[in-house]
């Protein structure tokens, strides 16, 4: 197997007595788009800053294209970076900002101009060359920051929450643009975000981080549908958690609110009488019995929220509440609060959280 393009090996970072990153390992293939997803303080930005060279790991090493860059200064790494706060140089025009890295390496004037024009074309702002950063909107500034980062053709592109300071609509359009530019240039990219939708929508793989460690690394599909830990299951997407008691470990049956559910092959190591946390995504649940769904639970509708195309229904089952969405159908009135209801699902969709 070929060596990975970027390899972060057993990296640890401590500030005094506080360890913010602990034994972090990740291999990234060339051209891959990997997101670090996690709550504030999970260490995702610290890992990114260690890759950039702004922080030195307390232990471990970082290898790019087979070369150990752990002790290299940021200006020796040939890495591009986009910051949350744009960080455009306020005294320089857009063209000068984009050409900054090229000028630093001593590229001839004509080549700089050509590359700047090419970059402005890629980010679709060709008319902005002579503007100053203060004359641009947040989205435009971040596009310029992206152009500036990729202009010197870096080996690796680091994006540190680049969309956090933008409004919702611009965030969506810019994230799609970032992904499209990344694919077009084939540049290996690490993207830090705390927004799961962002990470799920644009990444090849996601590293979900918590407490300075990578809880799970996988494709968005794997992360969402097969979360490896309770934290990943809770952090990524909406999750309904139900308490269940193991009744027959050999047969794989669990009792939830006096109803038996078969979870064959998912109860590894559980004993009879053990209490388990069982999780279901809202989209895996249907209201009423549905063909192809092998399990069901009974309860009472506690809340109904009309959201236009979708109706969000909460059903009380024992001491728990299960949330599910149904499509709005003009011919069918929405369920009423207080009605008895049955929810159905496939037992294969039920996750056992360890």
User: Contact positions toward another protein, by CB under 8 A?
Assistant: 52-54, 73-75, 77-81, 83, 85-91, 100-101, 104-105, 132-134, 141, 145, 148-149, 152
Min separation Cβ 252 and another protein, Å: 53
Min separation Cβ 231 and another protein, Å: 30
Min separation Cβ 91 and another protein, Å: 3
Quote the strand ranges of the chain, DSSP E. Answer: 6-15, 18-28, 33-37, 59-64, 67-68, 79-82, 156-160, 188-193, 205-210, 213-218, 240-248, 253-256, 259-262, 275-280, 286-287, 295-306, 310-317, 320-327, 340-345, 351-353
CA distance 235 to 191: 17
Min separation Cβ 151 and another protein, Å: 9
Min separation Cβ 90 and another protein, Å: 3
> Phi/psi zone of residue 302: left (φ > 0), alpha (ψ -120 to 50 degrees), beta?
alpha
Q: Closest Cα partner for 285 from 343, 342, 207?
A: 343
Which one, 78 or 245, has the nearer CB to another protein? 78
Give the Cβ contact number of residue 3 at 10 Å: 11
Which one, 129 or 145, has the nearer CB to another protein? 145
Q: Which residues contact 16 (CB under 8 A, 6 or more apart)?
A: none
Min separation Cβ 150 and another protein, Å: 11
Min separation Cβ 148 and another protein, Å: 7
Min separation Cβ 307 and another protein, Å: 37
The answer to whether the beta carbons of residues 20 and 13 sit under 8 Å apart is yes
Which one, 152 or 252, has the nearer CB to another protein? 152
Q: Which neighbouring-strand residues pair with 345? A: 295
CA distance 185 to 340: 55
Which one, 94 or 351, has the nearer CB to another protein? 94
DSSP-derived letter for residue 106 is T
CA distance 116 to 232: 41
Which one, 99 or 227, has the nearer CB to another protein? 99
DSSP-derived letter for residue 237 is S
CA distance 107 to 263: 64
Which one, 85 or 337, has the nearer CB to another protein? 85
Burial (CB < 10 A; 0-12, 13-18, 19+), residue 7, is: middle
Which one, 147 or 223, has the nearer CB to another protein? 147
Min separation Cβ 68 and another protein, Å: 19
Which one, 40 or 91, has the nearer CB to another protein? 91
Which one, 74 or 288, has the nearer CB to another protein? 74
């Amino acid at each position: 197997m070929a060596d990975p393009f970027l390899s972060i090996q057993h990296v640890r970072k401590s500030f005094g007595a506080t360890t913010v990153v602990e034994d972090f390992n990740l291999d990234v293939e060339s051209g891959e788009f990997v997101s670090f997803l996690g709550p504030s303080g999970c260490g995702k930005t610290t890992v990114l800053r260690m890759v950039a060279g702004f922080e030195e790991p307390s232990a471990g090493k970082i290898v790019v294209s087979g070369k150990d860059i752990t002790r290299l200064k940021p200006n020796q790494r040939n890495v591009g970076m986009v910051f949350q706060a744009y960080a455009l140089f306020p005294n320089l025009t857009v063209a000068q900002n984009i050409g900054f890295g090229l000028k630093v390496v001593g590229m001839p004037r004509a080549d700089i101009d050509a590359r700047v024009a090419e970059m402005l074309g890629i980010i679709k702002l060709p008319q902005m060359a002579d503007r100053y950063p203060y004359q641009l909107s947040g989205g435009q500034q971040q596009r310029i920051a992206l152009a500036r980062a990729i202009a010197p053709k870096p080996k690796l592109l680091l994006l540190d929450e680049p969309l956090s300071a933008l409004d919702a609509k611009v965030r969506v359009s810019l994230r799609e643009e970032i992904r499209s530019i990344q694919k077009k240039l084939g540049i290996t990219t690490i993207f830090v975000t705390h927004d799961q939708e962002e990470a799920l929508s644009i990444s090849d793989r996601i590293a979900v981080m918590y407490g300075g460690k990578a809880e799970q690394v996988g494709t968005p599909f794997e992360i969402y549908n097969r979360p490896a830990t309770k934290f990943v299951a809770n952090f990524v997407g909406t999750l309904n958690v139900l308490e269940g008691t193991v009744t027959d470990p050999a047969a794989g049956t669990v009792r939830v609110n006096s109803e038996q559910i078969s979870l064959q092959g998912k109860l590894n190591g559980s004993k009879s009488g053990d209490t388990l946390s069982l999780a279901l995504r809202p989209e895996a649940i249907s209201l009423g019995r549905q063909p192809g769904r092998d399990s069901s639970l009974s309860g009472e509708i506690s809340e109904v929220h009309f959201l236009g195309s979708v109706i969000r229904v909460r059903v009380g089952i024992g001491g728990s509440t299960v949330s599910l969405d149904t499509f709005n159908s003009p011919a069918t009135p929405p369920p009423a609060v207080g009605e008895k209801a049955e929810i159905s699902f496939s037992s294969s969709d039920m996750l056992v959280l360890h």
